[in-house]
Structure formats: C-alpha cells, structure tokens
Amino acid sequence: MLRDKNLVPLSRQHQHALALCVRLDRALQAGNVDGDAWSEEIRQIFAQEVAAHFAAEEKVVFPVAAAFLSLQPLVEELLAEHVKLRDLFNRAASETLDVSSLRSFVNQLSSHIRKEERQLFEGMQQVMAADEFARVGRQLEEALADASNACILPTESTRLRPRS
C-alpha cells in the first residue's frame, strides 16, 4: 500500500534510522566495529532526529491510532518498545556500547521501524479518513519542526569500506 503523504515525514526518518542499522549490521558482520565511533553516531541520530520522532509519534500518531480498537494493542506494544529503545539510546549517550549491545540495538530498532511501517501505518491507512490524516499531517509538521531533515553522514570509523 502506498504511504499516505501525511506519514511520509516519519517514513523518511525511518529510512535514515534503517540506513544506520544496515551499516552497523554490516560492520558487525565484518567484525569491524569501533564502539566509540558507533556510540557517537547513535548519540547524534538520537539528538538530531529520533528524540523528536519518538515524541511526535507519542503525541500525535499513537493517540490517533489508539482511538481505533483494532490498533490499541499494537500502540501499547510500540510504546513499550520506545521505552526499551530510549534506554539503548541513553546508554549510547553515557557509555560506549559493546558489540552485544550494538547488535541488540540494530535488531530492536529495525524490528520496531518495520512494525510501525508495516502494521501501524498500514492499519491507520485502512481505518482513517483523509481529513483525519490531514489533521495528523499538520500536527506532525509542527511536532517535527525541530528535527533534522538530513541523514547523518558516517564518520571515517563507521563508513563501510569495499572488501579487498
């Protein structure tokens, strides 16, 4: 299903976070992990985009979705995942994440994003009217005004290198 235009800003941010997950996963598979550099990149993406993204979802999207009985359990699950993900982001802000924590970060964040895209957004599009989405879009635009619109660029330590 084509994404409703009012959810596109969140989907774009999901793409940024998934790009980070893919790069980190590849680095983990290659055994080429600089924990300090990856923790710093995770800190940056949280500060520049994810904190505002989570807040917008919790303030705007989740309450609207939870008004539909069929989406309530999913919203509760996603809220619980936000708590766990915030903990991982906070850990990255206060310490260097080890390989196991980085692996957990990739798995939890990518799974969460896919659940929002494939289940929440699709479910909302099935039950919401266009005027409701327009209202959500206006509220999201306001809520995301402080979030960066740019994908964070990899550092020298986190950039993937071609295999020799």
Cα separation, 1 vs 126, whole angstroms? 10
| 19-22 contacts, C-beta under 8 A, 24 or more apart | 19/151, 20/45, 20/109, 20/152, 21/106, 21/109, 21/110, 21/113
pLDDT of residue 32: 82
Cα dist from 129 to 24, 67, 115, 121, 125, whole Å: 38, 13, 22, 13, 8
Per-residue pLDDT of the chain (164 residues; tens, 9 = 90+): 789 999 999 999 999 999 999 999 999 999 989 999 999 999 999 999 999 999 999 999 999 999 999 999 999 999 999 999 999 999 998 988 899 999 999 999 999 999 999 999 999 999 999 999 999 999 999 999 876 554 445 555 555 544 44
Q: With contact defined as beta carbons under 8 Å apart, do 122 and 14 qualify?
A: no
Q: What is the pTM of this model?
A: 0.86
Q: Where are the domains of the chain?
A: 5-143
Q: From CA 25, how far away is CA 163, in angstroms rounded?
A: 15
Top CATH class, 5-143? mainly alpha
70 near 120, Cβ under 8 Å?
A: no
